[in-house]
């Protein structure tokens, strides 16, 4: 792990443009750390690093290599990406105007006659 950490190009890992492009192409619901990990995966591939699990390396970079301002940029970008990805779903949910019909007491108790329209 340490030899990979020494070889990494941290400018590539911190590239917001690359992370955003990958996340939007994959429709990847994400967090700031997961966005950074997408860049780490590309960098590991560039360096021909063949370890399948990069989670511990991503954790180490996130926890000890990135500045708080870098983490905030990734987190803010992840929030924006998630809004774009979720927008169609939120739009669909907002169009539901009927109470949810159920067939058994479990479903009735779970939904409690929820209306997804107007004031609940």
Tens of pLDDT, residues 69-113: 999 999 999 998 888 877 777 667 666 666 666 777 777 666 665
Tens of pLDDT, residues 30-62: 899 999 999 999 999 999 988 778 999 999 999
More confidently predicted of 117 and 107 = 107
Distances (CA, A) of 62 to 27, 36, 68, 86: 22, 8, 9, 25
Tell me, letter by letter, the H, E, C secondary structure of the chain: CHHHHHHCCHHHHCCHHHHHHHHHHHCCCCCHHHHHHHHHHHHHHHCCCCCCCCHHHHHHHHHHHCCHHHHHHHHHHHHHHHHHHHHHHHHHHHCCCCCCCCCCHHHHHHHCCCCCCCCC
The pLDDT of residue 76? 94
């Amino acid at each position: 792990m340490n030899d990979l950490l020494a070889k990494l190009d941290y400018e590539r890992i911190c590239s917001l443009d690359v992370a955003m492009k990958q996340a939007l192409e994959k429709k990847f619901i994400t967090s700031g750390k997961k966005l950074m990990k997408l860049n780490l995966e590309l960098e590991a591939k560039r360096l021909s690093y063949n370890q399948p699990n990069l989670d511990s390396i991503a954790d180490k970079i996130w926890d000890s290599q990135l500045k708080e301002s870098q983490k905030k940029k990734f987190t803010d970008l992840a929030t924006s990406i998630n809004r774009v990805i979720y927008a169609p779903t939120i739009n669909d949910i907002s169009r539901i105007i009927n109470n949810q019909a159920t067939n058994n007491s479990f479903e009735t108790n779970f939904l409690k006659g929820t209306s997804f329209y107007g004031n609940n």
